[in-house]
Structure 1
Amino acid sequence: MRLSAPVVGPYTPMGATLVPGGATFRTWAPTARSVHVVTDAHVDADWSRCTPSDDTRLAPLGDGTWGGFVPGITDGTPYLFWIQGPEGGSEGLKRDPYARELATCPEFPDCPCLVRPAHNYPWHDARWRPPPFHELIIYQLHVGVFWGADPEVPHYGTFLDVVARIPHLRDLGVTAIQLLPIQEYDGHFGLGYAGLDYFSPEMLYQVEDQAELARHLVAVNALLAKHGQAPLTLAELVTGPNQLKCLIDLCHLNGIAVILDLVFNHAGGGFGDRSLYFYDRQPWGDDNRSLYFTDKGWAGGKVFAYWQAPVRQFLIDNACFFLTEYRADGIRYDEVTVIHEHGGDPFCRDLTSTVRYVKPAAIQIAEYWNWDRAYPVTKSPDGLGFDAALGDRLRDALRGMLAEASGGAEAHVRLDRVAEALLPPPGFPAAWTVVQCLENHDVVRWDYDSHAPRAPRVAAVADPSHPHSWYGRSRARVATALLLTAPGIPMLFMGQEILEARPWHDDIRFWSQFLIGWNEVDHVRAKRDFLRFVQDLVALRRQHPALSSEGVRVPQVHERDRVLVLHRWVEGEGRDVVVVASVNEQALDHYPVTLPWPGRWREVFNSDVYDPFPNVAPVGNFGAIHADPASGFAYPFAARMRLPANGVIVLTR
């Protein structure tokens, strides 16, 4: 039976969509005179010599888009658009802005797009449900650097290399990972914030070699088998999109949500002739202004033209694409401040409301640094409607605490600043709506201009001369404990859990200087013990609802003694947790600590146990203390405690 060609119109999906007998194509080029689809059937070895013909021409659909059906297209067919610009413009090949994958030969940016089906990965995560937003514990990583393998072999890691570290992430106890941007960008290394092809996974993160792919398949199927799931075949793991889907799938099976970092404030600066920037060849003068972009630069690229409805739709489609086809669990939006400053507030409101409709369980996190920090997490129309926003008050206060404490026993440590930063930021609708960290990709990245990290990693702040000394270890434990018991969504940066002191960078030309020391964990006790400390601390946060609740108060701060008390509880239920932190270089005996309730309090966590682990004689309270009536404190009860030097004790009622 002969199949009739499908009707193509304004509701046909953008890009290439496989249908019976071929594929539909649709693209936005409102000022073009003609648009063609060029496939490998129309070229020899050199795509640049193709000649479009009438039978490959798309039809104008009346809304600025062009569309048509091309028979004979199958999964993996290479293609490009040929666009003839308006009078005075030019003509040439273009990559599809909605392409699901790019070919690796010829190399980027001369590569064609590949037609891929939307749904050909056999998902195993039917029972997966992401954690509530307030229970998130995020781990941020860069796909290319995270694996940190042999320093003698400088090449990026891949999506499947991250799969190999899922057991580490599972044992760490984090409930989500946040990948730095994974869309295609120009160059052989990069942070990912200079993306060019928004729907296609970065080719550097894909495995093409069949022998290497077969090795990864064994590891993938071993993880699937542990969860009683059917194995994958090699064919199901060949494409780049399926390798990223496999990573997300296996994270879900291991209880880990996946948050993607999307860059909607600008696109990268590698604007080749086939890129989005020159898409419909408009002859608007020497500046080559674009449909998709303004003439305003940002971070080496161009800011999107948010007044263009199809541009807004392109970006909203991109967000929904990763949440549906890739089953991502949330989005971290880069530099929403830039969007706001370039007239993008209506776009942000459309974006957040659409994403919330498409996938209500997906968290939306804004990076926003203007003076009104609560603006992005305020509901529309008064705000932008994001669920959470990045915060820096606690980060700066805790890093300042470490820097001051590194001055020695007599140095003044401003714990009042820490106490203030432990409270929710002004104007935020809930305590959990701020994402807290001590390190992230921006803060601790190596800066080539200054020949130094932008800021040291936590251990190096705690003791600049010897980050793995007792001073470095113990102070880092205090800061990490306060991060993971504070209000908000805590975020760790890759390597932070093993007390990594080296800065990080994505440039593989200097690979050995910036590798995460995974191979050192087994024989460097400081790293091994700190990893156990973080694992147990994360478990503590997950076990006690008060630590992810709204209830928070700092009832006691003593800067001379360098002691701070943090009280957390569940509103209406109690379930109190009290955190006592000391950055005093001496242990304190019989130290009075105010408590909200009388009677017995259990000591459920003591950081002194981890140096070295297990410390058989930690400074502590033998598992419990007793609170009695007392005056002169914020609460009407107090207990005398033994506090370890540079230590944290956690009490539960």
Structure 2
Amino acid sequence: PLRIPLQNSIIYELHVRGFTRHPSSRVTHPGTFRGVIEKIPYLQELGITAVELMPVTEFNENEVTFVNPFTGERLKNFWGYSPLSFFAPKSAYSSDLEAPLDEFRDMVKALHRAGIEVILDIVYNHTAEGGGNGPTTSFRGIDNTIYYLLDPWTRAYLNFSGCGNTCNCNHVIVRKLIMDALRWWVVDMHVDGFRFDLASILGRDMDGSVLANPPVVEMIAEDPVLADAKIIAEAWDAAGLYQVGSFSSHRRWAEWNGRFRDDVRAFLCGQPGTVPALATRIAGSSDLYQRQGRRPCNSINFVTSHDGFTLADLVSYNSKHNLANGEDNRDGDNHNLSWNSGVEGPTHSRAIQALRSRRLRTMAVILLLSQGVPMLVAGDEFGRTQQGNNNAWCQDNEISWVDWRLATKNSGQLRFFRELIRLRKAHPIFRRHDFFQMTDAVHGPEISWQGLEPGTPDWSDECRILAFLLNGAALGNEEDDDFFVMLNASRDAEARFTVPAPTREQRWVRILDTGRPAPADFVDPERADTVECGAMVLVRSMGCVVLQSMVKEAKR
């Protein structure tokens, strides 16, 4: 295993089949583990440190009964959150159907040689056996009362997963099965970590009640075989239990920070009262993770995931467009915190296209320059769209497949993401070990917030702007440059920020401006324009400007 510290990780969520299934991927073995291997040079150039693979255990893609109303085509389970086995890799993801184990291991080893870790999205909260009308393939026939949560009176399945059944994760036999599976993936298949789907179900007892200290959650964190594995919880379930910030007090457990997603989205929709929450998210979500000695890296920050709109769709649609899923648009979340920027869906308006581009890149800046661990979704870096579908679980087609032609069409956006990732990796000030302290007697505050003027933050409901100065001198042994970040979430008004002085005898240069077209939106600091202390910097609506401190040029 590579053992990359979690605080240094940049996670890239991808679907093994969808990543290379589109003809534009130009790989020899599309939709397979070998297809992922063929794309490793791209992943290296992008700069991510880990891939998070959506479910790769065996599932029945033909279990779906819904039909696309437009084509009459029977839909398939594309995502795979319906495990038939907790161990067996999906044979259809192997170019050699007789050797999926070998091909999966080859993929992991190839990624490791490239310096990229492998995190598996695993489903232990339910199985493919579904509810009472589902098939009997394993656990139901072995011992229904042990493996599933049942109503004590009616013996009906308790459905906290939204998928018909719920695994009895804290029964001693089921616990052992889960631990055996995790150890097998680490020891025999060499994976580096796990993301636990609907992980809050791991904390329920036999009657569905929430346990204070769930045995299986503690066992996973304390197991010596899993000591170096990253463990990430999706800290909610389908029955309304929401545990972001409180899933486990154990320092090893990280969480998908749904609050980060919601607060960033709300801010860049121009909603009122969002500035204080955004500042908390940028600073690492201390309100959620500072207790019990946890750190910013316990927060997995994301704006989009497989579940919901893509980043391009987030700025292009107000509402979900899921009719192709065959459920009359009833499926998928209605609470998307999205804004279409003026027109629903595709448009030829250059002004709206420019606004969408600013918003998208500004979201990327917040994601990559916040404290915590950033996660992005495959294709978001070059504008992948699902045509407004926010629940594409059953779309094994071009709605879900990554269209690699967009990497050329939107090459400027792709470059922006690469440069942002490079900036994050080059500067430890974005990857702090601990939370910000309010004051530092020697070097001044570690972070300083402001509105339009230095020293005057605006936390009012009406405020749509936020700026902050990161003090590189206060990092101790890892002394770094200062950075001054200005954000404007007004839908139509420009903002002019007065630039504070750097913390040392240095000068500011403008390295990033999402109000400018590529490649002027991200400039090498050696070639960037100098910005004088006290100058006013214009930030476009829904835009962002970042200044970096540099040593002053010697006088000649």
* Shared fold per TM-score greater than 0.5: yes
Specify the code of the residue in structure 2 equivalent to 1:565: F
- Distance verdict in 2 for CA 1:580–1:151, change over 3 Å: closer
DSSP-derived class of the 2:270 partner: helix
1:484 — aligned with what? 368
Tell whether 2:14 aligns with 1:137: no
Among 517, 535, 556, which residue is 2:450 paired with?
556
| In structure 1, distance between residues paired with 2:123 and 2:429 | 34
- Which one scores higher on RCO, CA 8 angstroms, separation ≥ 6? 2
Unaligned runs of 5+ in 1: 1-127, 210-237, 281-288, 380-384, 406-411, 628-638
- Whether the 8 Å contact between 1:601 and 1:652 is mirrored in structure 2 is yes
| In structure 1, distance between residues paired with 2:81 and 2:138 | 16
- Whether the 8 Å contact between 2:502 and 2:549 is mirrored in structure 1 is no
* Distance apart, 1:625 and its partner CA: 3.6
Map 1:617-636 onto structure 2 (within 5 A): 622-627=528-533
RMSD: 3.5
Map 1:597-636 onto structure 2 (within 5 A): 597-603=503-509, 605-608=511-514, 611-614=517-520, 622-627=528-533
Tell whether 2:295 aligns with 1:430: yes
1:358 — aligned with what? 225
When the two structures are superposed, what TM-score results if normalisation uses the length of structure 1?
0.63
- Distance verdict in 2 for CA 1:421–1:617, change over 3 Å: closer
Which is further off, 453-462 or 296-305?
Answer: 453-462
Larger Rg: 1
| Cα deviation digits, residues 192-246 of structure 1 (max 9, x gap) | 221111110112212237xxxxxxxxxxxxxxxxxxxxxxxxxxxx500111111
* Distance apart, 1:614 and its partner CA: 4.8
| In structure 2, distance between residues paired with 1:601 and 1:196 | 59
Map 1:20-59 onto structure 2 (within 5 A): none
* Distance apart, 1:563 and its partner CA: 4.3
| In structure 2, distance between residues paired with 1:204 and 1:617 | 44
Map 1:419-498 onto structure 2 (within 5 A): 419-425=279-285, 426-428=287-289, 429-444=294-309, 447=322, 448=325, 449=327, 451=329, 454=333, 461=340, 464-465=343-344, 466=346, 469-498=353-382
Tell whether 2:410 aligns with 1:546: no
**Percent identity of equivalent pairs:** 21
Tell whether 2:420 aligns with 1:537: yes
| Cα deviation digits, residues 339-394 of structure 1 (max 9, x gap) | 2233661111112211xx11432111111135553333412xxxxx5431111222
Tell whether 2:439 aligns with 1:572: no
Specify the code of the residue in structure 1 equivalent to 2:85: D
DSSP-derived class of the 1:394 partner: helix
Among 396, 411, 418, which residue is 1:528 paired with?
411
2:148 — aligned with what? 293
* Distance apart, 1:330 and its partner CA: 0.8
Which is further off, 298-307 or 311-320?
Answer: 298-307
| Cα deviation digits, residues 510-568 of structure 1 (max 9, x gap) | x234433312332x2xx211000000000000000111113543511356573422526
Which structure is higher in strand share?
1
- Distance verdict in 2 for CA 1:554–1:399, change over 3 Å: farther
DSSP-derived class of the 2:424 partner: helix
Specify the code of the residue in structure 1 equivalent to 2:415: R
DSSP-derived class of the 1:252 partner: helix
1:15 — aligned with what? none
- Whether the 8 Å contact between 1:331 and 1:363 is mirrored in structure 2 is yes
DSSP-derived class of the 1:266 partner: coil
Specify the code of the residue in structure 2 equivalent to 1:304: C
- Whether the 8 Å contact between 1:582 and 1:643 is mirrored in structure 2 is no
- Distance verdict in 2 for CA 1:587–1:403, change over 3 Å: closer
Unaligned runs of 5+ in 2: 63-76, 151-157, 311-320, 437-446, 453-461, 551-556
1:260 — aligned with what? 120
| In structure 1, distance between residues paired with 2:521 and 2:372 | 31
1:346 — aligned with what? 215
Count residues with an aligned counterpart. 460
| In structure 1, distance between residues paired with 2:89 and 2:33 | 10
Map 1:118-517 onto structure 2 (within 5 A): 129-150=2-23, 157-188=31-62, 189-208=77-96, 239-269=99-129, 272-279=135-142, 289-295=144-150, 296-297=158-159, 298-341=161-204, 342=208, 345-354=214-223, 357-369=224-236, 370=241, 372-379=243-250, 386-404=252-270, 414-425=274-285, 426-428=287-289, 429-444=294-309, 447=322, 448=325, 449=327, 451=329, 454=333, 461=340, 464-465=343-344, 466=346, 469-502=353-386, 503=388, 505-508=392-395, 511-517=397-403
| In structure 1, distance between residues paired with 2:494 and 2:382 | 25
* Distance apart, 1:266 and its partner CA: 1.8
| Cα deviation digits, residues 174-204 of structure 1 (max 9, x gap) | 0111011111112243322211111101122
* Distance apart, 1:139 and its partner CA: 0.5
- Whether the 8 Å contact between 1:140 and 1:178 is mirrored in structure 2 is yes
| Cα deviation digits, residues 21-47 of structure 1 (max 9, x gap) | xxxxxxxxxxxxxxxxxxxxxxxxxxx
| Cα deviation digits, residues 228-269 of structure 1 (max 9, x gap) | xxxxxxxxxx50011111111111111111101112222223
Specify the code of the residue in structure 2 equivalent to 1:606: L
